[in-house]
Structure 1
Amino acid sequence: MTSAELLPIIPSPLREASAAALEWPRLREYIANRTFSALGRAWVLALEPCADLAWIDLQQQRTAEMRTMLARGGSFEFQGLFDPTTLLEKARIEGAALESTEIRDLLAVVERVAAWRNLIDPPPNGTRYEWPGIAALSAPLLDYDLAPLLRLLRGKIEPDGSLNDDASPELNRIRRAMERQHRAIEASLRRSLQSLSEGGSTQEDLITIRGDRFVIPVKSEFKRKVPGVIHGSSSSGQTVFVEPLETIEQNNELVRLLDEEQSEIHRILVAMTHALGQNSASIHLGARILAEVESHSARARFAETLNCSRPIFAQELSLTAARHPLLELRMRAAALADGTEPIRPVPLTIILPPEAKQLIISGPNTGGKTVSLKTLGLLSLMAQAGVPVPAEEAKLPLFENIYADIGDAQSIERNLSSFSAHVVNLDRISREATSDSLVLLDELGSATDPEEGAALAVAIATHFLKLNAWCCITTHLTSLKVYAANHPGVLNAAVGFDQQTLTPTYELRLGVPGASAGLNIAARLGLGADIIAAARAQMTTQTADIGAFLDQLHDQLTAAAAERETMQQRERELSRERARVEVEGRVEQKARTKELETKLNSLIENFAYQLRETVKAIDDKALAQKIARDSDRRMATLRREFSEQFNSTVVAHTTRADKNDPAAQPHIPKGIKVGDIVKLKSLGRQARVDRVIDAKNFEVSMGPMKMRAAIDDIAEVESVKVVTPLEAARKRGGVTVATVNDDTDYMTSEINVIGRTADEAQTEVERFIDRAFLAGLPRIRIVHGTGMGVLRRTLREYLRNHPHVTTVTEPPQNQGGQGATEVELRQ
């Protein structure tokens, strides 16, 4: 058991991460400041990037799970955690006794570990989180039960470290006896003071303590008159402190009780220490787990603050809307200090094409080249240390090492100039880097003669290109820009610069080099116009032409981007307008269709009314009834056919299809087979298919009645589902037709319509009765519940007028009573 076990164990740590140059320690310090315990802070400060993908993914997953927990309003108290290793080692020594304050501190750790164990494995009514990574990390704690230890330690040590009176029954007894002894001694001394004060022998009416003995102050000249033991005098010598004879035995008893108290306290502390020693393994394990959990909690809060995302590791380099975390935090802090709205840094997007592994960034000073370089490097370190990165999306390779040569590397102690220090650093990087390394070089080729520096910069860039290492280089050198344009696998990029305001935009534009704009920036910063003019005169024609070309290129790109945005905006407006017109057209068409349908229905109703009046005028009642039945059936058929033709016309008009188009044709059922339930247009009733005569004719039956039906007379088909009797019995809430074997049919005789509206229930019951009649059932049972009685009244009124129903009765109370209805069917 060691303290090192409480800190992160980093598998395959990066040998060279250029952490200081990329400000990783500063970022780690910021995250550590979001912890609440010394142990969690130490864990974060020991965090380092590594090249072990499994470890990284696990760290990222656990942080994401903690972020989800916090987003759901969850929390956990980490305060009180510290490294318990030393105290636990002492507790394991036989007979050792920790100080009460040390036990109190360890108890705080035990409380935190037990609380976390309950959060991981909550009771049935507790909050349960979906966090497999955190659960796996904490799973070893489930093998330990700290409840007995907590029962032994809780409530026995006060916040100041003293033992509570109830720490043990014996301690309680001793302290009650001490209180009684105190009162007895005080009463005796009060009596002595009263008798002595009458003679003026006492200095003041006060009881005090000298060396665990209660005494009274007596004037020096009267000390012979007070029988007792003198326990010293005041600094002036005018007062002596006397223990009267009558309280000596009482004080002796109090001292004895004090010794007993100390002995009992020691015994309790030894017992507590022993219990802690016995549970040292679980406490140490819990502290180690909680240290990492708190680090994930701190990382999760950091990720939420900067709206970070979980990086994806792949053989590509793609950062979308990335920000430098320390720069954003600095800008937020400045805005908070000034009381202004915080300004976010301009996001950085770097998406290298699959064939490119080297990026050359050029552009003006103060334009953000170095920030882009540091953002890429720091986000790579964060990703491989298990920290979410501030970007909308981040896809990064898994780097074995990250090298950076940034800033002024001058070393007075080593007698190195800036150029020499850079060369020494570049030599080391060129020897150690591999194809899985990330190399970041700021202002390559600077701090020496421009021509020699340019040649050296191109040679170094070529070396890393041949090495196939991931490489990002910032530069002002034209030769490097030309190198990038002429070599496959290398991509130019430029930081933006506004030629109108002569200010950088801090945007990174991929695919083109950038102009340094040094003279323009110098002019903006106030350098004399004559000096600027002289400098421009010194520039070679080629250099000036290149600068002008790059300026024009960026202006054209900016104009193209603005025009593209304008076109996209117009396309969006056209799409919205097109959608609005289509919606209005559909609404108008629907209203017109509804109007036509209403008029046509009105005409049909008038025709039906006139037909009924004509039938009433016939004197022969039998003939009139037959004509009425035939006319009703024929009218129903005509209504259905008219509806289908009307709908076909609407479909054809809506879809602009020809009348012969299949989309505009009435529905023709297909795939009819024996056992299917079909609805006949001519009768408006359902029938069962008993035999398929040919593709267009079928033999059907309605109860005992059999007939032939053509496919044109079939409106709809409903296939019968084959189930077992047990399944049919289980399905009590609806209609189930099932086949038990090849010869007999089975159908449940009960339907449950509780919870349906009156219309829904009537529709379901109608279909159920048709099926039951076809299946030859003699009776059925409808369960509708009691409720307000609406379903019962509606259904019974409907059933009494149904042609297949003979009787409608209410079952006995023990079989449902008013909550059900039994129906006898015609045979």
Structure 2
Amino acid sequence: MQPSIPSALSEFAISALQWEQLRERLAARTMSPLGHQWLLALAPSSDSEWIYSQQARNAELRRLISAGMPFNFRGIFDPTDLLDQARIEGTALEALELRKLLVHAERVEAWRALVAEPPAGLEEALTATRAAAFALLEADLQPLLRAIQGKIEPDGSLADDASPELARIRRALERQHRAIEHSLHAALARLASDGSTQDSLITVRGDRFVIPVKSEYKRKVGGVVHGSSSSGQTVFVEPMETIELNNELSRLLDEEQEEIHRILVAMTRAVAAHSPTLALGALILGEADAHQGVARFAEDLNCVKPIVGQGADEDTLSVFEVLEARHPLLELRLRDQGHSITPLTLILPGGAEAKHQVIVSGPNTGGKTVTLKTTGLLAIMAQSGLPVPARSARLPIFDAVFADIGDAQSIENNLSTFSSHVTNVDRIARHAGPASLVLLDELGSATDPEEGAALAVAVAERFLELGCWSLITTHLTSLKVYAAKYDGVLNAAVGFDETTLSPTYELRLGVPGASSGLNIAARLGLDPSIVDNARSQLTTQTADIARFLDDLHAQLTAANSERATLAEQQRELERERERLAKEGRIEQQQRTRDLERKLEAMLKDFESRLTDMVKVIADKTSDKALAKRITRDAAVRLAGLRRETTGEFKTAVADAQEAAKPAAARPTEAERELAVGDAVMLQTMQREARIDRFIDDKMVEVVMGSMKMRVPRTDVRRLQRHEIETPSTKRRGGVTVSSAAHESPSDVSSEINVIGRKADEAESEVERYIEQAYLAGHRSVRIVHGVGMGILRRTLRDFLRNHPHVTSVTEPPYNEGGQGATIVELRQ
């Protein structure tokens, strides 16, 4: 199964840019043959919608992997052949084939369930995957699963309960086996006395149960002989009284095979009925596995999603920008060798200052060819919907990626290196257009330098006229001068440290590179007289250019060093600022903890005194119900006072911490954007709520009491601090109650189970629960007490009808608990 790739590129230099090697590396991260095949067939496209869809699916798989990835793609296979067989009328697939399809159906159903109802924490990670699996969301594989699940054993045999008829036949077979064994054991017992039997074992010959008899006694035993041993001393006889029993056994075996065939045919028909969903599921799971392989590759190389084609601004199409890009295959190889890669930054501006052509120069082994390959491969990756190894990337959509890289000598076609290069460049010039990317390595080499230079400039001018995006590497001075002369061309140089005689692989934009051949030769120890003679052969103009380039690169190196020093000093200042801020926070937290301990001690002392006073009052009254009510009301008010005081303390601490921030860091209430947790007023309902999450740019989800609802952003107004009800001023039903900021309806369950409790224990537990649910803002709760003899139900309902926080007590419908539960409506 291969990916459907619309508008594939006319050419994208597969071999020169190592696209096949990259696909193999990606495919190695998959878990199934389907995902492996999908990636090996992947190719770039010029269809922006397809590219964006691939990027979205890959991003979701990265989020799923980060969240734990609750799905295993191992063992997924292509069911096409089996489904084609299943659709043939009257066909019965083998049991093991059906079991294999059952496993596939279970995986498809598991993926559908994951996408349709993702576990907590994965909802946001599955937005576009849900769209990708839309067809599966409408499919129902449960009938197929019910038809096959649990009916096929791991060894391929059918379970006894695969059908009622098969269960009946299997029971009859078992009875028949016992009857035959009993008959044969009786025959053995009769023959054992005179030594007619060879041994006391029952054996099988040709699906018939027989007993071994000495050959000389075979005429004494009435029955049918079914063969003899290899020595001829033993014959195997089926006694006359067992023949009918064996005949019945054969009939039952035939019935069993007929029923097994009927069941397999029925299962095969069920598979055929669901074959479109199973085939689609294989396609979706194969692509999902491919994307999870890409996602793991992207996480390993710290890849990012590139902006491809028209982006947020109008100039994106005319901008080519990759920051700190790395060639993925080179990075993996260097990592295996214990080395790191030097990233590449290439920025080609658009608009009035557009530059679509870069002339890359510099010494050998400096990284010119790597620059070409990195640029081309990242362009192909981006248009294949893949993340790219870079800090960021913005790329046009190319209709083709042409490359002439490396030694193009062709012995088969009798072409020299130069001839092959010319042939390839001619073909590219005939097919390239404004939306093409052209990569040319060592243009104008392998021939006379003067003629090669003239030819190289002419070729570069042709691609500039065509409007192509082109990168050209060279050692030729004439091309460097050409780049400096034309506005649409940019010089660039790869770095080389002449002190250590090693390349830096850094790409510098805006300056030509020096080949430094004579300097490198001198430092490598070439005879100084030879080097001096070579220098004397240079024209004055060539020597001046070489000295100028050497001085220019020395100045750039010094400037980069100074810039790095300044950046390190800036980072040091930031670290010192963070250290001082952290010390201040630690000191503030210590003071807050001290105040919390003092507040807790005061509250405990007050609680102790109030409890003693209530106990004295309760002891003095003879009305036990009144005493119980006084104790309960005191406990409720005491809990409310504790929450109110704690809430006010935390609010005061938060205000103090906010006031301690620098004024510039504290946005005003009017300036600050809405955020999760903000207290807001719903304009149409004139009710206070709190933002729970943002759905999109237009909708927001809010919590109001025990309800969640989605409302337009235009209906939401942030409450200023002075408008927000504090825990001490919030009112419910005309009575002021405490509602600590950290407590919400989600903290108290809407149901309690007291099954198995004694009546007095259950009443006490329900009483505490009602108080908590009332303070948490629940409108109604459900109490599960079971049916039993009805004592616990009557006790709790009588108690609840007289509770001050309860407005009504009702019995739920039968399907929601009936007499075994009670619905309690609370005052608001």
Flag whether TM exceeds 0.5 (same fold): yes
- Write the distance in 2 (CA, Å) between the matches of 1:578 and 1:34: 43
SS of 2:478's partner is: helix
Cα gap change, 1:244/1:328 in structure 2, threshold over 3 Å: closer, same or farther? farther
- Write the distance in 2 (CA, Å) between the matches of 1:537 and 1:243: 114
The alpha carbon displacement at 1:60 in A equals 0.5
1:75 aligns with 2:74: no
- Write the distance in 2 (CA, Å) between the matches of 1:43 and 1:351: 33
- Write the distance in 2 (CA, Å) between the matches of 1:786 and 1:215: 80
Whether the 8 Å contact between 1:735 and 1:748 is mirrored in structure 2 is no
C-alpha distance after superposition, 1:139-193 (max 9, x if no partner): 1222221112111110111223221222112112222222333333334444545
Query: Structure 1 stretch 84-93 or stretch 469-478: which is displaced more?
Result: 84-93
Residue 736 of structure 2 is matched in structure 1 by 752
Residue 28 of structure 1 is matched in structure 2 by 23
The alpha carbon displacement at 1:431 in A equals 0.5
Whether the 8 Å contact between 1:63 and 1:300 is mirrored in structure 2 is yes
1:267 aligns with 2:262: yes
Residue 624 of structure 1 is matched in structure 2 by none
Residue 340 of structure 2 is matched in structure 1 by 344
In structure 2, what residue type is equivalent to 1:343?
Answer: H
Residue 673 of structure 1 is matched in structure 2 by none
Seq. identity, %: 61
Q: How does 1:21-170 map to 2 (within 5 A)?
A: 21-122=16-117, 128-170=123-165
Whether the 8 Å contact between 1:735 and 1:751 is mirrored in structure 2 is no
Residue 469 of structure 2 is matched in structure 1 by 470
Query: Structure 1 stretch 379-388 or stretch 107-116: which is displaced more?
Result: 107-116
Pairing partner for 1:318 from 321, 329, 345:
321
- Write the distance in 2 (CA, Å) between the matches of 1:578 and 1:146: 60
The alpha carbon displacement at 1:553 in A equals 1.8
Cα gap change, 1:156/1:127 in structure 2, threshold over 3 Å: closer, same or farther? farther
Whether the 8 Å contact between 2:115 and 2:126 is mirrored in structure 1 is no
C-alpha distance after superposition, 1:771-791 (max 9, x if no partner): xxxxxxxxxxxxxx999xxxx
Q: How does 1:276-425 map to 2 (within 5 A)?
A: 276-313=271-308, 314-315=316-317, 316-332=319-335, 334-335=336-337, 342-354=338-350, 355-425=354-424
In structure 2, what residue type is equivalent to 1:505?
Answer: T
Query: TM-score scaled to structure 1, two decimals?
Result: 0.67
- Write the distance in 1 (CA, Å) between the matches of 2:244 and 2:83: 44
In structure 2, what residue type is equivalent to 1:325?
Answer: P
Residue 7 of structure 2 is matched in structure 1 by 12
- Write the distance in 2 (CA, Å) between the matches of 1:580 and 1:173: 80
Query: TM-score scaled to structure 2, two decimals?
Result: 0.67
C-alpha distance after superposition, 1:693-741 (max 9, x if no partner): xxxxxxxxxxxxxxxxxxxxxxxxxxxx9x999979x99x99999xxxx
In structure 2, what residue type is equivalent to 1:752?
Answer: T
Cα gap change, 1:517/1:23 in structure 2, threshold over 3 Å: closer, same or farther? same
- Write the distance in 2 (CA, Å) between the matches of 1:436 and 1:226: 97
The alpha carbon displacement at 1:248 in A equals 2.4
- Write the distance in 2 (CA, Å) between the matches of 1:268 and 1:538: 93
Cα gap change, 1:129/1:491 in structure 2, threshold over 3 Å: closer, same or farther? same
- Write the distance in 2 (CA, Å) between the matches of 1:555 and 1:366: 19
- Write the distance in 2 (CA, Å) between the matches of 1:814 and 1:291: 60
Count of residues in Structure 1 that have an aligned counterpart in Structure 2: 607
In structure 2, what residue type is equivalent to 1:274?
Answer: R
In structure 2, what residue type is equivalent to 1:510?
Answer: L
The alpha carbon displacement at 1:530 in A equals 7.8
The alpha carbon displacement at 1:272 in A equals 0.5
- Write the distance in 1 (CA, Å) between the matches of 2:412 and 2:263: 60
Whether the 8 Å contact between 1:409 and 1:421 is mirrored in structure 2 is yes
In structure 2, what residue type is equivalent to 1:40?
Answer: G
1:449 aligns with 2:445: no
The alpha carbon displacement at 1:368 in A equals 1.5
Cα gap change, 1:516/1:25 in structure 2, threshold over 3 Å: closer, same or farther? same
Whether the 8 Å contact between 1:69 and 1:129 is mirrored in structure 2 is no
Cα gap change, 1:142/1:496 in structure 2, threshold over 3 Å: closer, same or farther? same
Cα gap change, 1:815/1:509 in structure 2, threshold over 3 Å: closer, same or farther? same
Query: Structure 1 stretch 163-172 or stretch 221-230: which is displaced more?
Result: 221-230
Residue 510 of structure 1 is matched in structure 2 by 509
The alpha carbon displacement at 1:376 in A equals 0.7
SS of 1:444's partner is: coil
- Write the distance in 2 (CA, Å) between the matches of 1:428 and 1:724: 69
C-alpha distance after superposition, 1:436-467 (max 9, x if no partner): 00001112122222222222211111110111
- Write the distance in 1 (CA, Å) between the matches of 2:104 and 2:582: 66
The alpha carbon displacement at 1:519 in A equals 5.0
SS of 1:131's partner is: helix
The alpha carbon displacement at 1:226 in A equals 4.1
Cα gap change, 1:254/1:344 in structure 2, threshold over 3 Å: closer, same or farther? farther
Residue 773 of structure 1 is matched in structure 2 by none
Gaps of 5+ in 1: 1-5, 336-341, 586-653, 656-720, 738-746, 758-784, 788-812, 817-827
- Write the distance in 2 (CA, Å) between the matches of 1:131 and 1:549: 58
Cα gap change, 1:125/1:458 in structure 2, threshold over 3 Å: closer, same or farther? closer
In structure 2, what residue type is equivalent to 1:348?
Answer: L
Whether the 8 Å contact between 1:484 and 1:490 is mirrored in structure 2 is yes
Whether the 8 Å contact between 2:63 and 2:125 is mirrored in structure 1 is no
- Write the distance in 2 (CA, Å) between the matches of 1:84 and 1:749: 64
Whether the 8 Å contact between 1:119 and 1:128 is mirrored in structure 2 is no
Cα gap change, 1:240/1:480 in structure 2, threshold over 3 Å: closer, same or farther? farther
1:255 aligns with 2:250: yes
C-alpha distance after superposition, 1:222-257 (max 9, x if no partner): 544444333334445554433333332222222212
Whether the 8 Å contact between 1:363 and 1:496 is mirrored in structure 2 is yes
The alpha carbon displacement at 1:398 in A equals 0.7
Query: Structure 1 stretch 542-551 or stretch 411-420: which is displaced more?
Result: 542-551
Cα gap change, 1:571/1:9 in structure 2, threshold over 3 Å: closer, same or farther? closer
The alpha carbon displacement at 1:577 in A equals 8.1
Cα gap change, 1:753/1:537 in structure 2, threshold over 3 Å: closer, same or farther? same
The alpha carbon displacement at 1:501 in A equals 0.5
Cα gap change, 1:559/1:89 in structure 2, threshold over 3 Å: closer, same or farther? same
Whether the 8 Å contact between 1:51 and 1:384 is mirrored in structure 2 is yes
Cα gap change, 1:517/1:221 in structure 2, threshold over 3 Å: closer, same or farther? farther
1:565 aligns with 2:564: yes
Q: How does 1:379-778 map to 2 (within 5 A)?
A: 379-518=378-517, 542-570=541-569, 752=736, 754-755=738-739
Whether the 8 Å contact between 1:49 and 1:385 is mirrored in structure 2 is yes
SS of 1:70's partner is: helix
Whether the 8 Å contact between 1:325 and 1:390 is mirrored in structure 2 is yes
In structure 1, what residue type is equivalent to 2:738?
Answer: I
